[in-house]
Structure 1
């Protein structure tokens, strides 16, 4: 594992970002995205546990719900996160026990369950958002070369300013 204190400028350019390799451009780009995702997840885990006292997977559920004021059906959350429904049921139960989400039945569908954030969860996310955003920016700076970083920052306005 790379030294987290190593300065990004000292790192070699990401091999998958170099032209002339065996892989087509699309697959090289996918590999850069995977590396970036892995680096962000690795760094976020400790921050999320410390600031929100939830697992990384539970944090992903909170993030999805944060963008949905009306909540989401559990089947949709499972689909968006690519998680088995049984695992999601456990995660939602943990989040509900912590007072971070509520569950309610969907009108007209006996099996449908909709999940929403509580005010407590919204406040926690607001309080932690600056540190979480900085963690993402630092992780991306650590694993990506300047061209890849510029491309990602183009997709995420404001991230480059962190």
Structure 2
């Protein structure tokens, strides 16, 4: 692990710091944000090398990969990723030029646009997904220790509705 990467005990809210000032939910959220920041930093270089796209463009591809072939409206993509629509328009244009997405007007709504993955993007994601998933797994394993994992697990509601 590079020296700049946090060790689990160095993350905000780790037991070593435990002042008890924050409620468990905020402490767990802080731990999760720190861990996902570590994952994002790790993924940036791997995504650029493997897919030749930015991290934000990669997030668009991942979101579209989970959708039916018809794609999603641009406004929905912006909402799901928490991105301004103008920034998303630029990123989608970059992905279009790279041949990774298509963009078309939504039937019956001249102002609406829908974006979808191309076959090229689907194949590229299939080819690189194991490496990218491994990068995520490794970064999370290095960023979160047992105590941090327990705190984050406690934040996630039990699907059965039973208290944890």
- TM-score interval, normalised by the smaller of the two chains: 0.7 to 0.9
Unaligned 5+ residue runs, structure 2? 157-164
Which of 9, 12, 28 lines up with 2:9 in the alignment? 12
1:9-158 aligned within 5 A: 12=9, 14-18=11-15, 20-69=19-68, 70-149=70-149
TM norm structure 1: 0.84
In the alignment, what sits opposite 1:159? none
Question: Which one has the bigger helix percentage?
Answer: 1
Superposed displacement of residue 134, structure 1? 0.7
- What whole-Å deviation, never above 9, does each CA across 1:126-151 have from its counterpart, x for those lacking one? 11111101100111111111243466
Cα shift at 1:16: 1.1
Query: Aligned partners of 1:144, 1:5: CA distance in 2, in Å?
Result: 11
TM-superposed deviation, 1:21: 1.7
Q: TM-score, normalised by structure 2?
A: 0.83
Could you tell me whether the CA contact under 8 Å between 1:140 and 1:149 is conserved in 2? no
Distance 1:147 1:12, change over 3 A: closer
SS in 1 for 2:33: helix
Structure 1 gaps, min length 5:
156-162
Q: Which has the higher contact order (CA 8 A, sep 6+)?
A: 2
Runs of 4+ aligned structure 1 residues displaced above 6 Å come to none
The superposition leaves residues 23-67 of structure 1 with CA deviations (integer Å, 9 ceiling, x where unpaired) of 111100110110111000000000000000000000000000000
Shift of 1:13: 6.1
Using the alignment, how far apart are the partners of 1:60 and 1:75 within structure 2?
A: 15
